[in-house]
Amino acid sequence: MSRADLLLSVAGLSVHYDSIQAVDNISFEVARGEIVTLIGANGAGKSSTLRAISGLIPYTGSVNFAGKDLRNLAADRIVAAGIAHVPEGRGIFGNLTVRENLQLACWQRKDKSKIAADLKNVFALFPRLEERSKQLGGMLSGGEQQMLAVGRALMSDAQMLLLDEPSMGLSPVLVREIFRIIREINQAGKTILLVEQNANMSLHIASRAYVLETGRIVLSGAGKELTGNPKVIEAYLGG
Amino acid sequence: MSMTKIKAAGTALLNQWRFLAGLKYFWPVFLAAGLAFCIAADVYDFVDLYLQLIIIYVGINIILTASLNLINGYMGEFSVGHAGFMAIGAYIASILTVYVFPQNTAGILFPAAILAGGMGAALVGFLVAIPSFKTRGDYLAIVTLAFGMIVKSILENIDAVGGPRGLLGMEKLTTLPWVFFWTALCVWVIRNLVYSNFGRGVLSIREDEIASDLMGVNTRQVKIIAFVVSSFFAGIAGGLFAHALQFINPRMFDILKSTDILIMVYLGGIGSIAGSILGAVIYTVLLEILRPLGVWRMVFMPLMLVLLMIYRPRGIMGMREIRLFTPLRDLVTEKLWRQKKKEASDASP
């Protein structure tokens, strides 16, 4: 990967929660147009890494995005820089309608015509959201909420999406659907950093993958390669 | 009369109401008529003075309730220091009309005094908001509680404004038209605020602050602005209150006053303009009606609140809005959406 293609580079990132070290000096890179996945068990530090990138928690080390240092930037400035984070648990605004949820993702945007076009795209990608646009976010099913969360991320016109366990709590059919959509979004030009426990599915769609264990990167490589790695098979793919 | 007849009459009434609510010129006509009535009542004096005073109190309470609802209802934070901001507005406006403005100009300069009271309260609100919103949750309740106490004890210890004895000498400058004007302005501003892009940011903070950050909402800025706007109107209400009663002392603005405002907010319903108005009207009028009961009204009112919290925990209008307060564009999109849905369901069978 050449330097020019580099979109996100994380170097020496560490995150502490009081005395507990959640992320321990990890470094990784994501190139423009890639799907990169971080896999690992519970508590491996995957979500903390994403939270640090989007400025929700303090960290040491450096995060560079599109040539911009994200350190000391507030969360809303990081969104403006072009990163959209779909948090674990989706973070749907339950008492607001689906449409309002989508509009909120454009909070900083002023380009009205582009917003309207983006809304059309999101509705084309998720027809269910259009059908339910007047319903409250809290009334949606888990799968629909996940679609709304991804839809919101698309509405912020970000170059890069951070997806935190999009498959969590969904039925196998919906999981496949979500992964299909992630691929589709990627092919439409968004760079994706995907955090997953569902190693099998995420390794299949990822161009590259990093395996985290208790806050450290223990393995990395092309997604398809890692599916054949005995260590990964043993730990995540169930033999 | 049969059930169906009642139902039909109900639907007819509802349709009429919808028709009224859909009219573009309802608000201009209502506001003009209201203002004309208030001016006429003030000039020709055909409304009982006691009744006038109650209407004035209702107006002031609507301002207080709607402005506190912005923080406690729409934004989901918990502020209990509203009376403190009211006190600041009341004292600033009173000092201006009694001591600062030249003789005989207080009447003309009254709006400026009220505005200055509001600005003063807004400035203090800004200063309080900066440190308090650095953390989240209950912290704001503690800070605003302390703030209310500080304001009260500072006022009690300034002899120039009468200390604990209070301040008097204000002319009765708060008239029906002025109360109507400021109440309408407050409701209009807050209604437009909550239905704007900014307002969606306010709502998102109540729903999920972290998600709100991730949507790119500058939560700190939104909180501070909302708090400043809320304090501003509390100050306005304070100035009006001082010039309606013609006497103020620090004890009027203690924690009990803040509690009163909180009660009106939660009675009417959080996150609702119509609820704020209803809460203020019902609470103020009911307290007056129950006046003959003497001390017992303070038993009756809390009992009513307990019952309300059991049967309607979100208040009368909690998180709902009547159509008159929803913007026309939202009504239009809803109408289009309903039409589309109907077409779809017509086409499918």
Query: From CA A53, how far away is CA B282, in angstroms rounded?
Result: 50
- Partnered with residue A83 across adjacent β-strands are A160
Distance from the B319 Cα atom to the nearest Cα atom in chain A, whole angstroms: 9
A1-10, B19-28, B312-321 — most confident range: B312-321
B219-237 residue pLDDT tens:
999 999 999 999 999 999 9
Domain total of chain A? 1
| Residue A54 structure tokens | 């989007």
- Partnered with residue A192 across adjacent β-strands are A35, A161
Cβ distance of A76 and B334 shorter than 8 Å? no
Measure the CA dihedral A63/A68/A70/A75, to 10°: -130
Q: What are the Cα distances from residue B236, in Å, to A99, B100, B259? A: 35, 18, 19
The pLDDT value recorded for residue B323 is 73
- Asked whether this complex has an ipTM greater than 0.85, the answer is yes
- Structural domain including A177 reads 3-235
Residue B93 · residue B114 · CB < 8 Å:
yes
| Residue B187 structure tokens | 């409701």
Cβ distance of A104 and B210 shorter than 8 Å? no
Residue B214 · residue A54 · CB < 8 Å:
yes
Task: With a cut of 80, say whether residue B248 has pLDDT above it.
Answer: yes
**Burial class, B34, CB count within 10 angstroms (exposed 0-12 / middle 13-18 / buried 19+):** middle
Residue B97 · residue B170 · CB < 8 Å:
yes
Q: What are the Cα distances from residue B38, in Å, to A34, A175, B52, B112, B280? A: 67, 63, 9, 20, 19
Q: What are the Cα distances from residue A57, in Å, to A13, A37, B76, B144? A: 12, 21, 23, 27
A216-234 residue pLDDT tens:
999 999 988 888 888 888 7
Query: From CA B308, how far away is CA B310, in angstroms rounded?
Result: 5
Size of interface A-B (CB pairs under 8 A): 73
pLDDT band per the 50, 70, 90 thresholds, residue B333? low
| Residue A178 structure tokens | 């979500």
- CB of B343 within 8 Å of any CB in chain A? no
Query: From CA A116, how far away is CA A157, in angstroms rounded?
Result: 12
pLDDT band per the 50, 70, 90 thresholds, residue A239? very low
Task: For residues B204-226, give the mean pLDDT.
Answer: 95
* Cα angle A135-A140-A144, degrees, rounded to a multiple of 5: 115
For chain A, helix, strand, coil in percent to 5 are 40, 30, 30
Q: Which amino acid is at B346?
A: D
Residue A204 · residue A223 · CB < 8 Å:
yes
- CB of B211 within 8 Å of any CB in chain A? yes
CATH classification at residue A85: 3.40.50.300
| Residue A106 structure tokens | 């454009």
- CB of B138 within 8 Å of any CB in chain A? no
Q: Which of B197, B213, B319 sits opposite A75 (nearest CB)?
A: B213
pTM to 2 decimal places: 0.89
- Partnered with residue A29 across adjacent β-strands are A9
The pLDDT value recorded for residue A187 is 95
Q: Which of B208, B210, B216 sits opposite A80 (nearest CB)?
A: B216
- Calculate Rg over the CA atoms of chain B: 22
Q: Which residues of A touch B214 (CB under 8 A)?
A: 54, 56, 75, 79, 84-87, 91
- Partnered with residue A85 across adjacent β-strands are A162
Q: Which of B214, B218, B337 sits opposite A87 (nearest CB)?
A: B214
- CB of B151 within 8 Å of any CB in chain A? no
The pLDDT value recorded for residue B339 is 65
Angle separating helix axes B82-95 and B49-69, nearest 10 degrees: 130
- Partnered with residue A37 across adjacent β-strands are A194, A209
- Partnered with residue A217 across adjacent β-strands are A212
Q: Which residues of A touch B219 (CB under 8 A)?
A: 76
The pLDDT value recorded for residue B337 is 59
Q: What are the Cα distances from residue A136, in Å, to A42, A139, B215? A: 31, 5, 18
Q: Which of B201, B208, B337 sits opposite A107 (nearest CB)?
A: B201
User: What mean pLDDT, rounded, does chain A reach?
Assistant: 92
Task: For residues B92-116, give the mean pLDDT.
Answer: 93
A6-32 residue pLDDT tens:
999 999 999 999 889 999 999 999 999
Lowest-confidence region among A4-8, A100-104, B143-147, B344-348: B344-348
* Cα angle A207-A208-A214, degrees, rounded to a multiple of 5: 145
Q: How many CA atoms lie within 13 A of A108 on its CB side?
A: 21
Give residue for tokens 């107006």: B59
B139-150 residue pLDDT tens:
888 999 999 999
Q: Which residues contact A92 (CB under 8 A, 6 or more apart)?
A: A101, A137, A138, A140, A145, A148, A149, B208, B211
Task: With a cut of 50, say whether residue B88 has pLDDT above it.
Answer: yes
Q: Which residue of B lies nearest to A84 if distances are taken between CA atoms?
A: B214
First to last CA, chain A: 32
> B38 versus B343: which is more confidently predicted?
B38
Lowest-confidence region among A72-81, A182-191, B194-203, B311-320: B311-320
Strands (E), B18-134: none
| Residue B344 structure tokens | 């779809």
- CB of B200 within 8 Å of any CB in chain A? yes
Cβ distance of B208 and A93 shorter than 8 Å? yes
Query: From CA A189, how far away is CA A204, in angstroms rounded?
Result: 19
Structural domains for chain B? 47-343 (1.10.3470)
> B68 versus B304: which is more confidently predicted?
B68
Q: Which residue of B lies nearest to A150 if distances are taken between CA atoms?
A: B215
Task: For residues A160-167, give the mean pLDDT.
Answer: 95
- CB of B337 within 8 Å of any CB in chain A? yes
Q: Which of A79, A95, A133 sits opposite B214 (nearest CB)?
A: A79
Query: From CA B46, how far away is CA B60, in angstroms rounded?
Result: 21
Distance from the B14 Cα atom to the nearest Cα atom in chain A, whole angstroms: 22
- Partnered with residue A64 across adjacent β-strands are A9, A69
Residue A45 · residue A212 · CB < 8 Å:
yes
Cβ distance of A95 and B207 shorter than 8 Å? yes
The pLDDT value recorded for residue B177 is 95
DSSP per-residue string spanning A105-169: TTTT---HHHHHHHHHHHHHH-HHHHHTTTSBGGGS-HHHHHHHHHHHHHHTT-SEEEEE-TTTT
Distance from the B330 Cα atom to the nearest Cα atom in chain A, whole angstroms: 11
| Residue A79 structure tokens | 């969104």
Q: What are the Cα distances from residue A155, in Å, to A162, A164, B10? A: 14, 17, 42
Task: With a cut of 80, say whether residue A199 has pLDDT above it.
Answer: yes
Residue B86 · residue B257 · CB < 8 Å:
yes
A39-43, A134-138, B299-303 — most confident range: A134-138
Short-list A183, A119, A174, A196, CA closest to A151:
A119
Q: Which residue of B lies nearest to A75 if distances are taken between CA atoms?
A: B213
Q: Which residue of A lies nearest to B337 if distances are taken between CA atoms?
A: A134
The pLDDT value recorded for residue B328 is 63
pLDDT band per the 50, 70, 90 thresholds, residue B132? confident
